[in-house]
């Protein structure tokens, strides 16, 4: 996985642990992060220091010879970090935390099935399991290291404790962490409203084999793409903060001229994307060396098929994906805002994500601005970035209410006569 890294290990660790904490994926006292530098020194978060207030000066260096530099003690669980690095030389960064969905699997003593999403399986792979041991003990380190050493797994569920993940660098480990938590969240929400469906290896392989856009490294950039870039960056970062887009799947694309468009890149954490990272698609070709997301082909097909659409957002928002992974109807007749913004949201088969069949592109219409694709994505369209983002946000909020209320009873939708009143006044 191609990622963007901060060259200062202390600052990068603070940047990531702060995001994890602010995103509600660990507590003030819970979790720890480390990375190895080129000299084999381990930089790690300190013990018993507020995760919400860490600075670069708080990060501790455990030297290759075992000596410690820093004004604090290293995390009490640094022994298992060291054990992982010794067992797996390919791992250069480790994240341990207590995010709610992953902890749910930990305390149920279950391993999440990442095949609920093709991208989760690609990023996270199979998940290992380590039996319980005393936190901070050498035995815990041995059990975790054994799980990592026995396979090529990059994530291990810690029994009645949490999760630990590895990466080729810290950005890589974080993308995996965020994707796996979202995957677990989707499974739990899907079980709340029905029975989740999982993808076969054959279907996942078929998706991977789909045609991607050609790359042109010599063409120059047209000037019309510049105006929208700041807005794209603003909204992709906001979507990540709002947990509408997370992990390594998701994209915002904006038409620039004709069927040309700019889109968000692959391999760069959404919260780190800058204007210079955005990818331009001109005459069906990718300009430059930065690759777009996997859905760029589908976005191109949608722009070609629907000249009135100027913006497309694809996401795997957890409550929406609960509906996409159970094939349960996402009924937007919940409150007036939801119906006015969305009207109807069909759920297409997984094969609609395959390029070339135009199934997704041809489904969009004036009264169908958004579409679910089973076990793949929620894609929403609009004339402006604000309108399209607003539709995404409204859709996820509506889905969240439906998931939360599922154990209370069935939805009582707005009646047909009231829908007609809304249609007459607002559409």
Q: Where are the domains of the chain?
A: 9-193, 215-426
Residues 323 and 197: beta-carbon distance below 8 Å: no
> Which one is catalytic: 38, 69, 77, 181?
77
Q: Select from 177, 180, 124 the least CA-distant residue to 152.
A: 124
57 carries an active-site annotation:
no
Confidence at residue 247, expressed as pLDDT on a 0 to 100 scale: 84
What CA–CA distance (Å, rounded) separates 221 from 276? 12
Residue 62 C-beta-side C-alpha neighbours within 13 Å: 21
Confidence at residue 126, expressed as pLDDT on a 0 to 100 scale: 87
**Does this chain's domain 9-193 share its CATH topology with 215-426?**
yes
Placement of tokens 């480790």 in the chain:
94
What CA–CA distance (Å, rounded) separates 346 from 422? 20
Own/partner contacts of 146-154, CB < 8 Å, gap of 24 or more, are 146/87, 148/84, 148/87, 148/88, 148/91, 149/87, 149/88, 151/126, 152/125, 153/125, 153/126, 153/127, 153/128, 154/91, 154/124, 154/125
Write out the chain's pLDDT in tens, 427 residues.
Answer: 445 556 799 999 999 999 999 999 999 998 999 999 999 999 999 998 999 899 999 999 999 999 999 999 999 999 999 999 999 999 999 999 999 999 999 999 999 999 999 999 999 988 999 999 999 899 999 999 999 998 899 999 999 999 999 999 999 999 999 999 999 999 999 999 999 999 999 999 999 998 888 887 766 666 566 678 999 999 999 999 999 999 889 999 999 989 999 999 998 999 999 999 999 999 999 998 889 999 999 999 999 999 999 999 999 999 999 999 998 999 999 999 999 999 999 999 999 999 999 999 999 999 999 999 999 999 999 999 999 999 999 999 999 999 999 999 999 999 999 999 999 999 8
Write the DSSP symbol of residue 43.
E
pTM: 0.95
Residues 309 and 381: beta-carbon distance below 8 Å: yes
Choose the CATH number for 215-426 among 3.40.1390.10, 3.30.70.1290, 3.40.190.10, 3.40.225.10: 3.40.225.10
| Joined tokens for residue 112 | 């999440």
Residues 297 and 249: beta-carbon distance below 8 Å: no
Tell me which H or E stretch contains 79: helix 78-87
CATH H-level superfamily of 9-193: Class II aldolase/adducin N-terminal domain (3.40.225.10)
Confidence at residue 42, expressed as pLDDT on a 0 to 100 scale: 97
What CA–CA distance (Å, rounded) separates 263 from 270? 12
């Amino acid at each position: 996985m191609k990622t963007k890294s901060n060259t200062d290990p202390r600052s990068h660790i603070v940047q990531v642990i702060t995001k994890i904490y602010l995103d509600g994926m660990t507590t003030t006292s819970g979790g720890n992060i480390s990375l190895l530098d080129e000299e084999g020194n381990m930089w790690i978060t300190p013990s018993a220091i507020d995760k919400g207030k860490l600075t670069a000066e708080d990060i501790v260096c455990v030297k290759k010879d075992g000596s410690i530099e820093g004004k604090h003690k290293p995390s009490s669980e640094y022994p298992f970090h060291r054990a992982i690095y010794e067992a797996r030389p390919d791992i250069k960064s480790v994240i341990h935390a207590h995010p709610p969905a992953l902890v749910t699997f930990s305390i149920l003593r279950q391993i999440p099935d990442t095949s609920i999403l093709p991208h989760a399986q690609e990023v996270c792979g199979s998940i290992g399991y380590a039996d319980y041991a005393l936190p901070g003990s050498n035995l815990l380190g041995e059990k975790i290291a054994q799980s990592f050493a026995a396979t090529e797994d990059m994530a291990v569920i810690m029994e009645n404790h949490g999760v630990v993940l590895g990466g080729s660098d810290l950005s890589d480990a974080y993308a995996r962490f965020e994707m796996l938590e979202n995957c677990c969240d989707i499974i739990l929400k899907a079980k709340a409203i029905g029975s989740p469906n999982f993808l076969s290896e054959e279907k996942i392989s078929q998706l991977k084999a789909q045609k991607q856009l050609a790359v042109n490294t010599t063409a120059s950039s047209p000037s019309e793409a510049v105006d929208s870039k700041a807005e794209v960056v603003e909204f992709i970062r906001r979507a990540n903060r709002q947990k509408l887009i997370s992990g390594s799947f998701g994209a915002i694309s904006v038409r620039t001229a004709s069927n040309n468009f700019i889109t968000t890149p692959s391999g760069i954490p959404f919260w780190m994307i800058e204007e210079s990272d955005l990818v331009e698609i001109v005459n069906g070709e990718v300009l430059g060396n930065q690759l777009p997301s996997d859905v760029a082909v589908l976005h191109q097909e949608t722009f070609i098929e629907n000249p009135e659409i100027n913006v497309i957002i694809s996401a795997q928002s957890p409550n929406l994906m609960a509906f996409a992974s159970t094939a349960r109807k996402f009924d937007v007749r919940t409150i007036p805002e939801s119906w006015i913004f969305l009207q109807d949201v069909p759920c297409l088969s997984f094969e609609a994500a395959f390029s070339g069949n135009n199934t997704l592109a041809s489904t969009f219409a004036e009264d169908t601005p958004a579409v679910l694709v089973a076990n793949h994505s929620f894609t929403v369209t609009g004339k402006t970035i604000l309108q399209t983002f607003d539709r995404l946000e409204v859709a996820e909020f509506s889905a969240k209410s439906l998931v939360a209320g599922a154990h209370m009873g069935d939805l009582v939708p707005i009646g047909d006569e009231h829908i007609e009143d809304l249609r007459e006044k607002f559409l």
